[in-house]
Amino acid sequence: MMDANPPIAVLIGPTGVGKTATSIRVARELDVEIISADSMSVYRGMDIGTDKPDLALRREIPHHMIDIVDPDEEFGAGAFQQHARAVIRGIAARGRLPFVVGGTALYVRALLYDYPLASVGSDEALRQRLREKECCEGRGTLHRMLAELDPVTADRLHPNDLRRIIRAVEVTHITGESMTTWRARTPDHPVYPCIVIGLWLPREKLYAQINQRVDRMFEEGLVEEFLKLQKRYRRLSRTAMQALGYREVNRYLKGCIDLDTCIALTKQHTRNFAKRQIAWFRKDPLLHWIHVESAEQRVPDMIQRWLESTEIG
């Protein structure tokens, strides 16, 4: 662990679990500034679908890494690592505790560890060729290609997970080494002194909350928000178009599905995403799980006790 780096607190959990309410309670009780670790909240104008904290809360409590790029720009883990680490230095210089809150596991990992893959760039021309290859030669083509290049990574990825399959092939193409090799270089100790707390709910309750949240998003005008983004920007970046809700609305507006199907698919895809998030978080040995129904009372105390016990408060 690098003692020169400031301590940070981290709150993670699947989408829809209730991280915002708990983070606001922490911020009102402790001297913290919040750093969003959400891959889609970085985009301006993508408000309803990403369920950003409202402006009143963001005026009351400092929030960082929200609305920092336009949705026609690409933004990934490497950029997040660079920006968020600068933010952490600024918060610490003000004598406050950086409080990372979010559900994008790759971003949290890139921030907490010297994650080498964050430094590997992208090749959009290669990505387009790979997408065309999958389209022309049939489903599963890229997964079979990856199995030859990097069987370990191919084994852990579903054949339909094209975005991650393409990234794994891209890493090998750019660096000459497999993603498995790169992942093996990730240190097993965090860069910062940290406490990592995860919020959980029984799956049936979490899924019910997700369904309610999706209904609320459409009631608040998700379709209209997407239309405004289309009007303002010539095209949304490929990363932005991965956002849950927006990609389904795009299909609806193109006439591929009706609105009821759009809403149902958004719910289904969000539930599936939450399941993947939980599986990722469970691999983190630093994680302390807390039931969300007691989190608003317990999390501030946990962070305060940790600061006192480690003599870094």
Averaged over successive runs of 10 residues, the pLDDT of the chain (313 residues) comes to: 77 95 96 96 96 92 97 90 95 97 91 78 86 91 94 90 90 89 78 95 96 97 96 90 94 96 97 92 88 94 91 54
Count CB atoms within 10 A of the CB of residue 54: 11
Q: Verify that 108 and 149 share a domain, yes or no.
A: no
Q: Verify that 159 and 229 share a domain, yes or no.
A: no
- What distances in angstroms separate CA 196 from CA 8, 55, 58, 101, 268, one per listed residue? 9, 26, 23, 10, 28
Q: Verify that 207 and 70 share a domain, yes or no.
A: yes
CATH number at 144 reads: 1.10.20.140
Q: What is the pLDDT of residue 29?
A: 96
Q: Verify that 139 and 102 share a domain, yes or no.
A: no
Single-letter code of the amino acid located at 138: G
The domain total for the chain is 2
Q: What is the pLDDT of residue 1?
A: 38
Q: What is the pLDDT of residue 211?
A: 97
Query: Around 171, how many Cα atoms within 13 Å sit in the side-chain half-sphere?
Result: 21
Task: Kindly report each contact of residues 200-204 with a partner whose C-beta sits within 8 Å and lies 24 or more positions away, as own/partner.
Answer: 200/13, 200/14, 200/17, 200/278, 200/289, 200/290, 200/291, 200/292, 201/17, 201/18, 201/291, 201/292, 201/293, 203/275
Q: What is the pLDDT of residue 286?
A: 86
Residue 192 lies in a domain: no
Enclosing domain of residue 178: 120-184
The sheet with strand 63-64 has its strands ordered as 63-64, 32-36, 97-102, 8-12, 194-200, 287-291
Cα–Cα distance, 263 to 245 (Å, whole number): 8
Count CB atoms within 10 A of the CB of residue 214: 25
Q: What is the pLDDT of residue 312?
A: 54
Residue 190 lies in a domain: no
CATH number at 73 reads: 3.40.50.300
Q: Verify that 301 and 234 share a domain, yes or no.
A: yes
Residue 194 lies in a domain: no
Q: Verify that 111 and 215 share a domain, yes or no.
A: yes
Residue 109 lies in a domain: yes
Q: Verify that 15 and 106 share a domain, yes or no.
A: yes
Q: Verify that 57 and 155 share a domain, yes or no.
A: no
SS3 8: strand
